[in-house]
A and B are shown apart, each in its own frame.
Chain A
Amino acid sequence: MTDVVSRAHPYMANSTDEARKHMLNAIGIQDVDELFEQIPPGHRTGHRFDLPDALTSEVSLKRHLTGVLGKNENCESYLSFLGGGIWQHHVPAICDEVWARSEFLTSVWGTAASDLGRNQAWFEYASQLGELIGMEFVGLPVYSWGAAVGHSFRMAARITGRRQVVLSSLMDPEREAVAKTYCGFAEQEGHIELIHVDHDPATGRLDLADLERKITDETAAVYFENPSYLGIIEDQGSRIAAMARNKGAETIVGVDPISLGVIAPPSDYGADITIGTTQPLGVHMNGGGGVGGFIATRDEERYAREYPTLQVSLADTIVPGERGFGMTLFGQSSYGSREDGNDWTGNSVYLWAIANAVYMSVMGPAGFEEVGKSILQRSRYAARQISSLPGVSVRWGAGFFKEFVVDFNATGRTVAEMNAALRDKQVFGGGDLSQDFPSFGQAALYCVTEIHTLDDIDYLVDSIGEVLAR
């Protein structure tokens, strides 16, 4: 008789002497070590594992985690104007309520019948996103916008048999770095070459004359974003797409879907492949972990057969009139065809697709229009007020959505100095562009969304003013 009170680990039902004995007996061995007989002695480690002491009790574990995570500040404890690829939007409480349901949280693969609800939610994600962006064929999400860019370039290369992509020189360097990883090195056979197009310094939009020079018979695709990384609304989409089409190239457009209640979907101006981010659709920033990406096209085999993703399709069951959902074109994925499949797939951000579906359902057409208008007005107001400060200007003061570039060059201050001083006022200033876009000098990318009130914006402007006055 040992301890009366068992200290079995709460996560493991068989963590009792009795259970272990029961299994050992049934297997017919004395010692669990016998089960490891396949591992040669020379492979087994003699290492004494030095891990922190176990916090087996939830009481201690929670205390510890709360203590550590409490060292973070966040965009609710501070007033934040950070954006640039991941944004603070309002996440309706029911988005979290739904994805956090244990059924969705713990599902793994299942069957069409037993995980019907999850599959239907995925289909509703694709269907609603398809309505928003004007596309009929939508894959399940990929890891991020950057991953979607990379996959879409590879799709275009396969479709056209060409190996160059022409894209804006003002792309998010983080996103472009991911895309480049998908394109390989020059000495490799399948390498995709990225060719930058200048922008019009006066408007921030693509320089069409330069684009004309850069699109050739080698061009697989032209890629631009709307709104762009720096917030600019690109209004030359139809002409860009026409130029691409003339040379037999695909037009790929990256969008922030929260803008689509007020801005036309890329299908309206000629996009062949529409990609973008899913994070603004009801997913928290999660320190950068909230990202997700989508790929969508017209429902044509030319495109459908080049998808790397899994996609869920409405299907019949063996009972007439009954609906279910199954994976279409599974065989062309890496699950189906290993290295002969399109790129690869795996665990992605499918739970966020459920949050996205809930988000689009609560928003409806009016919600998207309202949030778009709210962002347009609030961000324009913020830009206007900020540019009224002495020495501060906004690089492109019109024709932007949600984000704009604030120019501090004439103030003699660096963005780093400004942001450090703003932090003392509980404000996260806009993202520092001085490293990534040295030609801009001291400039910052400010983001204003539907969560920012008049008072928030005025507080920001007053704070910048006070810092500058020092």
Chain B
Amino acid sequence: MSGLRKYHAAVWDEPLVMELGATGRRGIVFPETEQAIVDAVGDAIELVPESVRRSGPANLPELSEPDVLRHYLHLSQETLGMMGISLFGTCTMKYNARVTESLVRLPHVAETHPAQDVQTQQGTLEIIYGLDRMLCELSGMDQFVFQPGGGADAAFLHATLTRAYHHARGELSQRREIITTAQAHPCNSATASAAGFDVITLPMEEKGYASVEALRSVVSERTAALMVNNPDDMGIYNPDIKEWVDIVHAAGGLCFYDHANFNGVMGRIRAAELGFDACMFMLHKTFGAPKAGGGPAVGAYGCREHLAEFLTTPVVDKDDEGYTVKVNRSAGTTQVREYMGNIPVVVKAYSWLRAMGADGVKEAADLSMLANNYMERRLLQIPGVTKALPHLEQHRMEMTRYSLADLTEETGVTTLDVQNRMVDFGVDAYWLAHEPWLIPEPFTPEAGEMWSIEDLDYWVDVIAQICEEARTTPELVTTAPHNQAIHRLDGSGLDDPGRWATTWRAYQRKNPDASAGTAG
């Protein structure tokens, strides 16, 4: 395929910042303390009790300001991010409007303190209230809060709210089980467990989801809650979900909809109409806030009226005077983080919804469904690429999971090899699948609504090219990448206590005579 770009990543061979600088250099200096202050209080260090004074300077690098800037600019250039094409599945890569990025950096967001009097936070509160109303409209829930610092934190909020709910009814000792599925994101089972519940995981069945019978067989008076996402990461929608909710409700459990995979169904279904008590939206995903390499993020948590009393997080309301904040610390132990949430992320999500409107949201959902199915057509024409659960013929939702098992069997090239090779074309690595893999050699692209047909075609062309290489020059793939800042990682020491090093001082201790290598 000759149409592919001749890409090469920036190679800066950049040392660690701890290896840079020279004694005495400064990246910032602070104003000298005014004489009147010094006269009044004396020497600064005398103000610290002697036994806890720092005994010597911290071993930090000493650099001028421009040297620090250039170092980190080099590192930014050695980061691919969305400079190329990123169809990272389950994360709904979409445009992060730079107008909002610039607005949240101004003091009216950046330099606000959460304890300011509410009259001086009316702008922030109006945004929170407005976003709450819009998300309630989209989901049918009655109340949203933005305190959770990510999707997993929202799942944790649900697990703790489940705990508070059953505690209040005197049933917590009895209701010890939370049910989830093998296709649910690991955060559901992990947060359920962290909140003190036993986890029951329903296995995937032939139709791509667990059967109603399987669910019935585990639901009982011990059931505290169901926590699931739908569609799953394979693009399969569980058509029995309403029945599931009824079954769990009949047994006295709560139902939580992990709505992280909302992009394809926006404007088509509403969590409350399906019967769910609560749901979670990822503002750093579906609602246009950036990934940022892993947050700052917000898992917006919405619930129906009957659960709202268990929220410990601040809730924004409105009266004749303006916007108000209610804090209800006595409600139960459901506070998952300090304050009201990542306000800049909330502003970005609000802004995204305002820029889209009801029609735009629906259009985005349609385009993401079209794009995924368009790609699927082309991807399945590539020899070696198959679809997870190929016997399921209905169109997949906004994502499709594929398998490279055939390619691996034929050539020995694995999905990890392909992932490492695609970055040689300026294309961000694809998502494989959560552990445990339910199908061999998986990969999961998610097209979303932002990328053009040309981008989608290029992405597919890259996969086709690599599959071709797997047959003709497999070592090119198994030793990839070749056009990146460094070569493939040798991860053999990562879990070895004698070799891992999460800090430079640990590395230096473990490698006393390692002549410091360099990155790149």
B506 close to chain A: CB less than 8 A: yes
- Cβ of A56 to closest chain B Cβ, rounded Å: 6
- Cβ of B220 to closest chain A Cβ, rounded Å: 18
A11 touches B94 (CB 8 A): yes
Q: Which of the residues B81, B93, B94, B295 comes within 8 Å of A104, measured between beta carbons?
A: B81
Complex CA–CA separation, A317 to B451 (angstroms): 33
- Cβ of A110 to closest chain B Cβ, rounded Å: 5
Contacts of B473 in A (CB 8 A): none
Interface centre among B97, B196, B267, B355 (most CB of A within 10 A): B355
Complex CA–CA separation, A32 to B493 (angstroms): 49
Sampled A-B contacts (14; CB under 8 Å): A36-B268, A49-B362, A73-B121, A76-B111, A116-B484, A287-B121, A299-B502, A338-B186, A338-B201, A340-B193, A344-B191, A346-B153, A377-B37, A381-B41
A126 close to chain B: CB less than 8 A: yes
B391 close to chain A: CB less than 8 A: no
Complex CA–CA separation, A87 to B355 (angstroms): 33
A406-461 interface with B by 8 A CB criterion:
419-420, 423, 428, 431, 450, 453-454, 457
- Cβ of B367 to closest chain A Cβ, rounded Å: 5
Given contacts A23-B374, A284-B111, contact A111 B429 (CB under 8 A): yes
A283-327 interface with B by 8 A CB criterion:
284-289, 291, 299, 301, 304, 311-319, 321-327
Contacts of A77 in B (CB 8 A): 107
A315 touches B267 (CB 8 A): no
List the B residue with the shortest CB-CB distance to A310: B294
Residues 27-53 of A, flagged 1 when their CB comes within 8 A of B and 0 if not, give 110001011111110111101011111
Chain B: interface size category: 35 or more
A246 close to chain B: CB less than 8 A: no
Residues 315-358 of A, flagged 1 when their CB comes within 8 A of B and 0 if not, give 11111011111111111001111111101111111111010011
A38 touches B199 (CB 8 A): no
B339 touches A26 (CB 8 A): no
Residues 79-107 of A, flagged 1 when their CB comes within 8 A of B and 0 if not, give 01010111010111010111111111111
Contacts of B346 in A (CB 8 A): 289
- Cβ of A179 to closest chain B Cβ, rounded Å: 9
Q: Which of the residues A264, A319, A329 comes within 8 Å of B54, measured between beta carbons?
A: A264
Contacts of A398 in B (CB 8 A): 47
Complex CA–CA separation, A237 to B494 (angstroms): 34
Given contacts A50-B358, A366-B26, contact A27 B487 (CB under 8 A): no
Residues 460-484 of B, flagged 1 when their CB comes within 8 A of A and 0 if not, give 0000000000000000000101001
Q: Which of the residues B297, B333, B363 comes within 8 Å of A177, measured between beta carbons?
A: B333
B150 touches A346 (CB 8 A): yes
Contacts of B130 in A (CB 8 A): 52
Q: Assuming A335-B186, A372-B44, what are 10 further A-B pairs, CB within 8 angstroms?
A: A69-B127, A76-B111, A178-B335, A182-B194, A268-B55, A316-B492, A317-B488, A323-B486, A361-B68, A378-B33
- Cβ of A416 to closest chain B Cβ, rounded Å: 9
A335 touches B434 (CB 8 A): yes
A164-221 interface with B by 8 A CB criterion:
173-175, 177-178, 180-185, 187-191
A384 touches B41 (CB 8 A): yes
Interface centre among A94, A107, A265 (most CB of B within 10 A): A107
Q: Which of the residues A43, A44, A74, A350 comes within 8 Å of B292, measured between beta carbons?
A: A350
Contacts of A108 in B (CB 8 A): 81-82, 86, 88, 91, 93, 291, 293, 428
B192 close to chain A: CB less than 8 A: yes
B360 touches A88 (CB 8 A): no
Q: Which of the residues B51, B479, B518 comes within 8 Å of A235, measured between beta carbons?
A: B51
B52 touches A263 (CB 8 A): yes
Complex CA–CA separation, A136 to B500 (angstroms): 11
